[in-house]
Amino acid sequence: SPRRLETNLSDVIFNRKTERNFSEDPIDSRTVGDLLFWSVGPIHKSEQDSESMCRRPYPSGGGLYPSETYVAVFRGGDIGNGVYHYNFRDHVLEKLFWISEEKIKNVLTYKFSKDAAGLIMLSFVRERMFSKYGNFSYKLGLLEGGHIGQNFYLVGTALGLGVLAL
């Protein structure tokens, strides 16, 4: 279960910054879990437990949540290196065996991004929004991604992590 973030919001906002010099320490499952839960996790589940009734910590057009979150672990502690899908409903990482973290690392352009312990990636599932919003879905998806990125910055700062958005 995720730990409560015992930080002062004004301190987190003041200290939030882009980091390019990452620690060489491995990242552990507790830290990854806390980062994912407070940034994109299920902060409120209703009694019905339906997809539409599970609120997340960022706004989404029509509450349709077209973003999916993936994690590439390059230097894991108690979590194995690999590429994972974040199943937000169950708050678990599902390992993707068809792609390796090395393939992900090879497409990164900057050396400093290859030095990070891990990488969080977002994708946009067009079908979740397109029937309701048409081409406006793309704009809503980008706005959602921006909110998620800011969550990762703020939560990462609260956890003492270096964060860099690419």
55 confidence band (pLDDT: 50, 70, 90): confident
CB 35 within 8 A of CB 156: yes
The model's pLDDT over 31-47, given as tens digits with 9 standing for 90+, comes to: 999 999 999 999 876 66
Supply the mean pLDDT for the chain: 92
Closest alpha carbon to 143 in 120, 162, 124, 121? 124
